[in-house]
Amino acid sequence: MKASPVAFVTGAAQGIGLAIAKRLAFDGFQVVAMDRQADVLRQAVKPLTDSGLAIQAAVADVCDRASVHQALLTQDGVDVMVCAAGIYNDARFLDLTEQNFSQMLEVNVVGTFIPAQEAARRMVSGGRIVTISSRGALGGTRFAHYVASKSAVIGLTRAMAMELRDKGIAVNAVAPGFTDTPMTRSAPPEMFAQWEALEPRGKAASPDEIAHAVSFLASPQTHFITGQTLFVDGGKSLGGLGI
């Protein structure tokens, strides 16, 4: 019997990453859920494992190559790598510091590059890398450093897709709109409500709606799609609704 294909998901202790890990396990992948928050990760994965899903936890910081490498060694190979770990914080452009900026790029861009590269080195033809950008890559106010990081993820995705297409590895980005996760819930409730009101349907996406798009790009049927960014934002990227 053929062993299950293997998918790694970073940032999988909560929010979008966790929903992706769950979705891919339902799709039949053996999933390795990676995150730097050890306790939160284990607590999130345990009920899933108990319910019979093939998910295991691996504590790793996406900015630390050695820990990412160790996580990858828990499996014989890698079919799919989803780079969902990321951070967000708010700051007016005029107040941003180099430290704010560098930290954002370090986690969101270098933290996408390292797991993607480590995975690509171990992938054979048919492999898939899915990165997580954001609708915010198109612009926005009070988060220029995040906008820069998520635009960089799109550029990196396109460049990886070009270099890896000869190896038969497809690389695509999913760019979620405003999604209901611990990241966005960490904002004051009145700010969450303001953001939600700006969404085309007046409400945030659920993490499962984002995971569904990742599942599509991770599936064997979509091998001819590469270098693309799929906006999953209810049409907000079409404009006309403010930030």
Ligand X SMILES: NC(=O)c1ccc[n+]([C@@H]2O[C@H](COP(=O)([O-])OP(=O)(O)OC[C@H]3O[C@@H](n4cnc5c(N)ncnc54)[C@H](O)[C@@H]3O)[C@@H](O)[C@H]2O)c1
Is 109 or 169 the residue whose CB approaches ligand X more closely? 109
Q: Following CA atoms 61, 88, 215, 82 in sequence, which dihedral angle do they give, to the nearest 10 degrees?
A: -30
- Find all residues with CB under 8 Å of 161, minimum gap 6, and list them: 170, 171, 172, 226, 227
User: Cα-atom radius of gyration of the chain, to the nearest Å?
Assistant: 17
Indicate the Cα dihedral angle 101, 63, 116, 9, nearest 10°. Answer: -110
- The residue annotated as part of the active site, out of 146, 161, 172, 232, is 146
Output 36 or 128, the one with its CB closest to ligand X.
36
Nearer to ligand X, 126 or 187 (CB): 187
Largest CA distance in the chain: 59
In the complex, the residues that contact ligand X under the rule CB under 6 A are 10-11, 13-17, 35-37, 61-63, 84-88, 107, 111, 132, 134, 176, 178-179, 181-184
Q: CA–CA separation, 123 vs 120, rounded Å? A: 5
**Closest CB 45 distance from ligand X, rounded Å:** 12
Is residue 146 annotated as a catalytic residue, yes or no? yes
Of residues 126 and 216, the one with the C-beta less far from ligand X: 216
Q: How far is the CB of 135 from ligand X (least distance, A)?
A: 6
Spatial distance between the Cα atoms of 184 and 168, rounded to a whole number of angstroms: 36
Catalytic residues: 146
